[in-house]
Amino acid sequence: MQPVALVGAACTLLALVGYGVGLLAPYPGRAFTLTGMMAGVTLVAVGLAREGKRD
């Protein structure tokens, strides 16, 4: 697995945890978890696409 995809997976997981915490106890800046989730999913997609292009 590409390092970019791993960073994306970690970012997505962290954002999901932050979102869940935000549902239980609202905190300032919790909207950034959605940004983190979108960035994480994008990084996973880029990392997986790079993996497919190896020769």
Q: Nearest 5°: CA angle at 12, between 48 and 50?
A: 15
Q: Quick one: pLDDT at residue 11?
A: 96
Number of domains in the chain: 1
Mean predicted confidence (pLDDT) in 11-39: 92
Mean predicted confidence (pLDDT) in 15-20: 94
pLDDT of 54 > 70? The answer is: no
Q: Model confidence at 18, in pLDDT bands (50, 70, 90)? A: very high
d(CA 31, CA 54): 36
d(CA 6, CA 50): 12
Domain containing residue 46:
3-52
d(CA 22, CA 33): 9
Mean predicted confidence (pLDDT) in 37-42: 96
Q: Quick one: pLDDT at residue 41?
A: 96
